[in-house]
A and B are shown apart, each in its own frame.
Chain A
Amino acid sequence: MINKLVASMAEALKDVKDGSVVLIAGFGNSGIPVELIDGLIEQGAKDLTVVSNNAGSGRTDVAKLLGTGRVRKLVCSYPRTSGSVVFEEMYSAGKLELELVPQGTLSERMRAAAAGLGGFYTPTAAGTKLAEGKESRMIDGREYVLEKPLKGDVALVKAERADRWGNLTFRLAARNFGPTMAAAADLAVVQAREIVELGAIEPELVVTPGIFVDRIVHVPTPKQAGTP
């Protein structure tokens, strides 16, 4: 029997190792797996590389994780937002390395990892500072930049509904990076608001097929990120 449901947050995150690359889904405060992030802080892994579109606002969720000092490097498209105080403190104190990646390139690099590709050529950032040091080539008269895959050791994803095989649906635009990150990590850990019977999600409405998911923890009343 396939059963990816785990009984506790501790079990869901038990073997996250120091030095892991952790993909954290979400955009702004939507789709941030707040409880999984709190679980990771509790679990204690350090020397982490975190991949996330933003760097959190206030002092909760992603910002709280950065504030523990256990994140060595942040791979991010838009770290500086209103309220990104912890990121700014850590960055200006030289305690956090930043790799700034255009948002579409960030997503596609993870998709490439999920898809087993060695990289891709994109017109994004060609001729700019963010392409410095990267291989580029002309294809049909246009300059493209080589971008390499970005694979996670762990992905933390917030879903709306899950079954025990790991089939997922998402709530509104909280979907954002979830499906790509789940597929791009060796260990995809999902928090789901609702656990449903196998077959309860119409097959044609499954957003993330269960083979991309490894563990599911039930979080029936998830917090919205950015709220105390």
Chain B
Amino acid sequence: MTGLSREDIARRAAADLWDGAVVNLGIGVPSLVANYVPAGREIVYHSENGVLGVGPSPEAGKGDPDLINASKQLITLMPGASIFHHTDSFVMIRGGHIDLALLGAMQVSVEGDLANWSTGDEKMPPAVGGAMDLAAGARGVYVLMEHTTKDGSPKIVERCTYPLTAKRVVKRLYTNLAVIDVTPSGLVARELAPGLSFAELQGKTGAKLDLANDWKPVSV
């Protein structure tokens, strides 16, 4: 059971973005979201390195090395795009001008604590990038990630064991197995990957889940 592809996770998350939303795309699966804009909506994608109006990836062999996203992948610009320097970019981020940050994660806790910059392993140098600024400054944080680590350990946990990026910031999770809301009463699974049972999902999750009464299969 591998569930959704990385592209499908991105497509599913994009479907929840509203007309007019300003959305920062972080490193990893979130960077793929720029390829998916729901029909009939205008969404302004922000990249921390100084771009508003990120468009889809260029065709293979095209693109400009000075147009990249946080993942350092080539991007295009939408009509209406703007380019600005780093300090202004983080004025937008820290100052609450970004509606939503879509970020990757190493661990997310029941309370929405986010850990995505360090495993605490002294031999593995850490890398924080813009994650702490985004977690502190965006008006909302959603996480897009694989449900478990490569060796199958849960990334959704009761308490993060890795150093935190920020406390109580994650509101929703999109994984290859489910869409899960972080609520005051705990984690609520809203959608499950097609063919996956709730018991299987719970078995791959390191914290107690509730199943929403109106749950449905993920549709992409």
Contact = CB atoms under 8 A, between A and B. Distances in A.
B84 A102 contact: no
Contacts of B131: 102
Contact of A177 (B51, B86, B123, B129): B86
Given A77-B130, A207-B85, 14 more contacts: A29-B72, A30-B49, A53-B86, A77-B128, A92-B125, A100-B127, A103-B128, A104-B90, A108-B94, A124-B136, A128-B163, A129-B164, A130-B128, A172-B66
User: Most chain-A CB neighbours within 10 Å: which of B86, B90, B118, B127?
Assistant: B86
B128 A28 contact: no
A104 B93 contact: yes
B83 to A, nearest CB: 6
Interface string B42-66: 0000011111000000000000111
Interface string B81-98: 001111101100110000
Nearest to B73: A28
Nearest to B163: A129
Interface string B29-51: 00000000000000000011111
By DSSP majority rule, is chain B's interface helix, strand, loop, or mixed?
loop
B46 to A, nearest CB: 12
B208 interface: no
Given A108-B90, A175-B85, A128 B133 contact: no
A175 B86 CA distance: 8
B166 interface: yes
A100 to B, nearest CB: 6
Contacts of A102: 128-133
Interface string A11-55: 000000000000000011111000000000000000000000100
